[in-house]
Structure 1
Amino acid sequence: MSELLNVTTRDRICQILLNRPEKKNALTLAMYEDLTQALISADGDPDVRVILLGSTSDSFCSGNDIADFIAAASRPDAVAAPLTFLQTIAALAKPVIAVVPGVAVGIGTTILLHCDLVIASDQARFQLPFARLGLVPEGGSSLLLPQLAGHRRAFELLVMGEAFSAATARELGLINRVVMHNSLKDLAMLEAEKLAALAPEAVRQSKAMLRSHIRNQLDAVLVAEVKQFAARLQSAEAAEALQAFMEKREPDFSRF
């Protein structure tokens, strides 16, 4: 397991913490693979009842590592690791609590759609800037976000792609609660302990029942989104947007 991921299990709670603070926990393809393995291991561990997904720093996840994705864009398997990760977290039997201390961009936000409880700091900021990068929604967001917020709000979030606050995320139903930043870790652990104390099989069956009616549809959407995302990575629009991001300038789409 990479040093970019901290995994510990104590009192029936497995904590999986992103640990790349200098990049605000931007995900590389290797990190996707490590996350997938950590989730599979925790879900299969009889000593684990709750999975807590968080960060060692004040950022949750700033999305995909752009340089890593540019380097891998020409590879046909470039989206295999993200897809496997998304399929894994969507299919976990055990409950997942996400703890969001700060920035959550792109996959850092869409991953929350697959968690069962999400607790965020009042300093957290969320953004889904897919179209701004010449890309399309991922992580099942084209299905799950309209279900939460309706078409118009989902369009605003996924296409206009402006940042929004923890209070707005709570209003949308994307997160369960907003707490003071200094209390976040303690309160999240308290919720994890409460959940771990419940009847474990009843919790797992209840989660499965809540997810069962969209399971097949979500599986199909995850695959379809990744195919379209991969195609967009090869587009001239995405090339301009990603290059502009690397050069810290606004993209110029006027020629398209």
Structure 2
Amino acid sequence: MEEMLSRPHWLPKLVNNNIDVARAFYSHSKILVTALNGPVIGLTAALISHSDFIYAVSDAWLMTPFTSLGLVAEGGSSVAFVQRMGQGKANEALLLGRKIPVRELAQVGFVNKVFEGKGNFREQVMGDLQQTFGEHLVGSSLLGTKALMRRRLVREQDEQAPLEMFGGLDRFCQGIPQAKMGEALSKSKASRL
């Protein structure tokens, strides 16, 4: 049990999840498109916030229950959520862990387009992308413009990522998330009986 509360145990795991994986998303040089065909929760929700375009079905939702699990924001969400959805909605997502429906995410610009129905969602997204990214765009200009737009954000993320990671590390070393997850498992088992 003592090892489960040690920095050497948690540090590599958190560096991988909160720094390496997040950086792969927020510093990616190509256009990143996310197509949500359902809910997105936790670290995955944080990671999609680095997408250039997000498409979703009408019943999708986002939830980042970090604070109810005894964690802090992760995956670059403390910067990207504020940038992509504004301070107010980011507070609801990150501080309160509120489940946010896709319609609200579209209203604040987090989601670019909402499609009705799941039946042909992939085809709808692909069709929209082919129409949007047609021959009228010059690929090198597209990527050059993205690099310019993201430059400040990448620097800000590079500064914030270690803070998120060390915040999470401190909590894991105190055993807070482990206790909260244990409570959740106990409640789940009790409700099944």
* TM-score, with structure 2 as normaliser: 0.83
Q: What code does the residue aligned with 1:145 have? A: F
RCO higher in 1 or 2 (8 Å CA, sep ≥ 6)? 2
| Structure showing the higher helix proportion among its residues | 2
2:61 corresponds to 1:95: no
2:13 corresponds to 1:74: no
2:159 aligned residue:
220
1:207 alignment partner, SS class: helix
1:143 aligned residue:
79
Taking the TM superposition and a 5 Å limit, the aligned residue runs for 1:32-111 are 74-82=9-17, 83-111=19-47
2:172 corresponds to 1:233: yes
Taking the TM superposition and a 5 Å limit, the aligned residue runs for 1:233-252 are 233-249=172-188
| Structure showing the higher strand proportion among its residues | 1
Deviation, structure 1 residue 196: 6.6
Unpaired segments ≥5 residues, structure 2: 189-193
**Greater C-alpha Rg:** 2
Counterparts of 1:223 and 1:99 in 2: how far apart (Å)? 28
Deviation, structure 1 residue 205: 0.6
Query: Over aligned residues, Cα RMSD in angstroms?
Result: 2.3
Counterparts of 1:115 and 1:188 in 2: how far apart (Å)? 15
* TM-score, with structure 1 as normaliser: 0.64
2:94 corresponds to 1:158: yes
Counterparts of 1:231 and 1:196 in 2: how far apart (Å)? 48
Q: What code does the residue aligned with 1:127 have? A: M
Would the aligned equivalents of 2:65 and 2:98 in 1 still touch at CA under 8 Å? yes
Q: What code does the residue aligned with 2:172 have? A: L
Counterparts of 1:196 and 1:248 in 2: how far apart (Å)? 52
Residues 186-213 of structure 1 show CA distances to partners (whole Å, capped at 9, x for unaligned) of 1211233342743221111111111112
1:178 alignment partner, SS class: strand
Residues 82-125 of structure 1 show CA distances to partners (whole Å, capped at 9, x for unaligned) of 12111111111110110000010012211122101100011212
Counterparts of 1:95 and 1:164 in 2: how far apart (Å)? 25
Q: What code does the residue aligned with 2:185 have? A: M
Counterparts of 2:166 and 2:122 in 1: how far apart (Å)? 37
1:208 aligned residue:
147
2:191 aligned residue:
none
